[in-house]
Chain A
Amino acid sequence: MLTYVLRKLALLLPTILGISICAFAFVRVLPGDPILAMAGQHGVTPERYEILKEQFGYNLPIWQQYFNYLWSVLRGDFGISLATKRPVINEFMTLFPATIELSLSAMFLAVIIGIPAGIFAAVKRGSWFDQFTMGVALTGYSMPIFWWGLLLIIFFSGYLGWTPVSGRIDLTFFLRPITGFMLIDTLLYGNWPAFVSAVRHLILPAVVLGTIPLAVIARQTRSAMLEVLGEDYVRTAKAKGMPPRRVVNVHALRNALIPVVTTIGLQVGLLLGGAILTETIFTWPGIGKWMIDSISKRDYVVVQSGLLIIALIVMAVNLLVDLLYALINPRIRVQ
């Protein structure tokens, strides 16, 4: 197992370097001079320009600039935001919990609904339930989620008035963040109304962000179950006279879940992409909205670092999924 882990890490190294080169190159290939971009509409005097150029190291050869960049990133220095003049990493740390909370809630919904739906659809293959579920799943999979979010706002916020339209919690509650997760913080303070408010704010964004993963998980669970239900050991278990429920839950499900776990892990990149749209629609203060705002404000330092951090997170999660997969399925390790 250790050699497997080491080999995986060795494979990741060139990719990580490549990602850092991409992030570094991003600011360099942008049209226009980076210093003039930083100076904004006020502009700079030629003397000040030279000083800034030296200060940011733009007078050095390009490879040296890259190594300086890499070195500062390795020390955890991701630069200063052009818009807020705060360290990028601090901004990231304040906004990241919001995205995690949203993504985990979305994934939670997707898993607790998607897996049972997929199992039932497979067991009752061809029934109206199967056809209905798979029809809904394909519709969910085809959903433009930014529109889906707007529809839910029209219905639940506009028409019924049940849910708020934006933010994480009512502005009447002010709680100093402990963990940054609104649901946990409100509970830690024992503030029940605040908790209810946080849940009401969370529910629509989580549904929107969870829609596509839910559809993918339901479809994947169904096809994995169908494959496993046709295996010899399932037939043997049935032939031995085991109760059908036990055959499905123990013999089939455990084996079918292996590819499903992988699928769930691979949704992370998709979730972070979906977070951009979901957070924009619901004005959710997370990293998705942070990225799109920074792109439109041309805050390139934030975009550069955000790109790097997000890619590293996606890679770390994919590595984790790979290792988990190898742990459940010993055949992989030997290859």
Chain B
Amino acid sequence: MSTTTEPPVTTKPVSGLREFWYYFSVNRGAVIGLTVFAILLICAIFAPWIAPYSPDVQFRDALLKPPVWDAAADPRFLLGTDPVGRDILSRLIHGARFSLFIGFFVVVGALVVGVVLGVLAGYFGGWVDALVMRVMDIILAFPPLLLALVLVAILGPGLFNAMIAIALVLQPHFARLVRAAVMAEKNREYVTAAKLSGAGHIRLMLITILPNCLGPLIVQATLSFSNAILEAAALGFLGMGAQPPTPEWGTMLASAREFIIKAPWVVTFPGLAILITVLAINLIGDGLRDALDPKLKRS
């Protein structure tokens, strides 16, 4: 008896993960995205060892040097230097730290707040639901970038405040998603069964219901990750995010703006870094959606 029940118990989680990987890896773009993301992550973690120079050191003898493929290049600087002689490649590598950190922090913040509010609204319904959802409606009525700008104006410009503002702006999407999922799940038989066997509200909300809403939540988290990076870069570009000389990509773009005609590479590379990062994460997001959405799986 015990031998017949054992195999399914041990193999089930493995096969679930394997099934997920099967559907994920079918999508070639998703695998490419994941690879690029892994490289970025390594760059971010080991930035001081990978980067040829410190991001802040200024080479006064090499201002605005073009990248190595240009005839006027200085071979010491692979991607050239900026107006005060800092190595662009080193700054980009260090910038990966900021962007990934921003994305991670913002998603965790938005996720926690959004999930708590969404679960409360969906589980209890009634006036709790009405109150939470009206507040979310108010936040969603403002264009995200504008609201983030105004919040930063209140909190004061800076990277940390920008992250708080972006997390607040992205959070309603999580709350709405979780609320809808909880409302769909809460009247299922397994929830009633758990309720009858004496599970309390907290247990029902977090342990019984929430894990079954995870699929769309993961996809939304991925989308928010890339959104957070874009918005933070936009705030940096508008001078309301990370402040110079922080090697944040959006901030680098802002200070390079006046040189766009004279030294296009100063503008090109930071933006390219943002695009590649965001694209990689969105590719992963598409792959996750295909792998986690049962409706698409069948087709």
B126 to chain A, nearest CB (A): 15
Instruction: Please name the residue on chain B nearest to A157 by beta carbon.
Output: B261
| A147–B275 touching, CB < 8 Å | yes
Residue in B145, B154, B261, B286 whose beta carbon sits within 8 Å of that of A273 in the complex: B145
Nearest residue in A to B274 (C-beta to C-beta)?
A144
Cβ–Cβ < 8 Å partners of A295 in chain B: 149-150, 153, 240
Determine the chain A residues whose CB is within 8 A of the CB of B283 once the complex forms: 138
Residue on B nearest A20 in the bound complex, by CB: B138
- Closest Cβ of chain B: how far from A316's Cβ, in Å? 10
Contact call A311/B145, Cβ cutoff below 8 A: no
Report Cα–Cα, A19/B147, bound state, in Å: 12
Contact between B141 and A15, CB atoms less than 8 A apart:
yes
A144-B141 in contact (CB<8A): no
Question: Which of the segments A22-30, A52-60, A69-77, A257-265 contacts the partner chain?
Answer: A22-30
Interface size on B, residues (CB 8 A): 44
Which B-chain residue is minimally distant from A27 (CB atoms)?
B154
For B229, give the chain A residue with the smallest CB separation: A144
Is A272 engaged at the interface, CB distance under 8 Å to the other chain?
yes
Q: In whole Å, how far is A207's beta carbon from the nearest beta carbon of chain B?
A: 16
CA distance A154 to B271 in the complex (A): 13
With beta carbons under 8 angstroms apart, the residue of A15, A146, A153, A273 that contacts B237 is A146
A96 → chain B, closest Cβ, in Å? Answer: 15
Residue from A143, A144, A311 within 8 A of B142 (CB atoms)? A311
Contact A138/B141 with A26-B154, A154-B264, A291-B149 known, Cβ cut-off 8 Å:
no
Interface centre among B135, B250, B279, B283 (most CB of A within 10 A): B279
B90 beta carbon closer than 8 Å to chain A? no
Would you call B146 and A154 a contact (CB within 8 A)?
Answer: no
Q: How far is A274 from B253 in the complex, measured between Cα atoms in Å?
A: 17
Residues of B within 8 A of A177 (CB): none
Cβ-defined contact, B138 with A18, below 8 A: yes
- Neighbouring A residues of B150 by C-beta, 8 Å: 26, 295, 303, 307
Q: Are B260 and A158 in contact (CB under 8 A)?
A: yes
Cβ of B175 within 8 Å of any chain A Cβ, yes or no, is no
Give the secondary structure class of A's interface: helix
Instruction: Mark B234-264 against chain A: 1 for CB-CB distance below 8 A, else 0.
Output: 1001111000000000100100010011001
A273 near B144 (CB under 8 angstroms)? Answer: yes
Q: Is B81 an interface residue (CB 8 A)?
A: no
Contact indicator per residue, chain B 117-137, by CB within 8 Å of chain A (1) or not (0): 000000000000000001101
A330 located at the interface, meaning its Cβ lies under 8 Å from any Cβ of chain B in the complex: no
**Alpha-carbon distance between A192 and B281 when the two chains are bound, in angstroms:** 47
B36 to chain A, nearest CB (A): 12
**Contact present for B143 and A273 (CB under 8 Å):** yes
C-alpha spacing A153/B260, complex, angstroms: 8
User: Contact mask A298-310 → B, CB, 8 Å, 1/0?
Assistant: 0000010001001
Q: Which residue of B lies closest to A271 (CB)?
A: B143
Chain A residue numbers with a CB within 8 Å of B238 are: 276-277, 280, 292
A144 engages B299 (CB within 8 Å): no
Does A80 make an interface contact (CB < 8 A)?
no
Query: Given A138, A146, A148, A276, which contacts B146 in the complex, CB threshold below 8 Å?
Result: A276
Q: Are A31 and B142 in contact (CB under 8 A)?
A: no
Assuming A144-B230, A315-B141, is B267 touching A139 (CB within 8 A)?
no
Name the contact of A277 in the complex, choosing from B29, B142, B145, B278 (C-beta under 8 A): B145
Can you give 11 contacting A-B residue pairs, CB < 8 Å? A139-B275, A142-B275, A147-B271, A147-B274, A154-B260, A158-B261, A269-B144, A273-B143, A291-B146, A295-B240, A314-B142
Taking A19-B138, A146-B234, A307-B146 as known contacts, 8 extra A-B pairs with beta carbons closer than 8 A to each other, sorted by chain A number, are A15-B134, A150-B271, A270-B143, A280-B238, A295-B153, A295-B240, A303-B150, A314-B142
Pick the 7 closest A-B CB pairs, nearest first.
A147-B271, A273-B143, A273-B145, A18-B138, A142-B278, A142-B279, A311-B141
